Amino acid sequence: MFDIRHIPPSALVGLLLTALFLFAALFAPWIAPYGNGEIVGEVWGPMSAAHPLGTDNLGRDLLSRMIYGARITIFIAVTATALSFILGSVLGFTAAVVGGWIDQTLSRFVDLLMSIPTLIFALVVLSVLPSTLATLILVMGILDATRVYRLARAVAADINVMDFVEAARLRGEGRSWIIFREILPNALSPLVAELGLRFIFAVLFLSALSFLGLGVQPPDADWGGMVKENKDGIVFGIPAALIPAGAIALLAISVNLVADWVLNRTSDLKGGRGDG
């Protein structure tokens, strides 16, 4: 089933790049030539054999910063996405299955959160709360969970009226069986497809926050933060800011390619005619 010939080229490119980013993130301390905060040369030094991507605004090795940045970016995005999925899908399924006032309260609360522009909401919350990693992940996760909630609730509401769920109810099954054994397996494919997209949005959201100075705090930096640090160089023709910006775009595209492929494959299993 996982025959490499059946993977379309676009998905293969996506998989390869995603794997590369993950590798960099996982093994950052071992593959980075210099330390994260180590000043090794002059400010905004050009690309050279010693510093393949040049140095940044404080004279740190940009390649090493990029590798450590991948670690931070991907770690935060992954945990925030995981949080949003667990929170969003469990609440969404519960709302759809239980219905009534629980559904109403949850749904209207989610509507309330969604009516406020995400970035502004995050800016306000993060500038009030102490800026730690945990707050950052929590804020991102909860805001993203509203989107997942909507999807999970819609999908579960569809499945909830199917005869096999009614059969389970007539058998006398409890709610947790209905949610986790009857509905979840059938709701998985749209959720998995959404997972890739939400991860990308988390990366972009984190980058935006860091660029505005409310994300990861110095001396650590994710890619968004690195764009901010080096943005003044652009005026002098220094490309240091473009490298993390390009990495953000590349990560988003490659994960998207993988998500597309996964969506096609899962719709295959449902009997649709995906081209996976």
When binding is defined by CB under 8 A, the residue of 162, 176, 219, 232 that contacts other proteins is: 162
Judged by CB under 8 A, does residue 235 bind other proteins? no
- Least distance in Å: CB of 242 to other proteins? 43
Nearer to other proteins, 128 or 275 (CB): 275
Among 4, 49, 170, 235, which residue interacts with other proteins (rule: CB under 8 A)? Answer: 170
The least distance separating other proteins from the CB of residue 166, rounded to whole angstroms, comes to 7
Q: Are 221 and 67 a contacting pair, CB within 8 Å?
A: no
Q: Which is nearer to other proteins, 108 or 273 (CB)?
A: 273
Rounded CA-CA distance 43/61 in Å is 10
CA quadruple 3, 9, 10, 12: dihedral sign: positive
CB atoms within 10 A of CB 173: 14
Structure letter (DSSP) for residue 217: P
Whole-number Å distance between alpha carbons of 22 and 71: 8
Query: Can residue 169 be called a binding residue for other proteins (CB under 8 A)?
Result: yes
In the list 173, 197, 204, 239, the residue contacting other proteins (rule: CB under 8 A) is: 173
273 binds other proteins (CB under 8 A): yes
* 80: Cβ contacts below 8 Å, ≥ 6 apart: 137, 140, 141, 144, 202, 206
SS3 270: coil
Residues 175-214 as x/- pattern, contact with other proteins by CB under 8 A? ------xx--xx----------------------------
Q: Which residues bind other proteins (CB under 8 A)?
A: 1, 162-164, 166-167, 169-173, 181-182, 185-186, 268-269, 271, 273
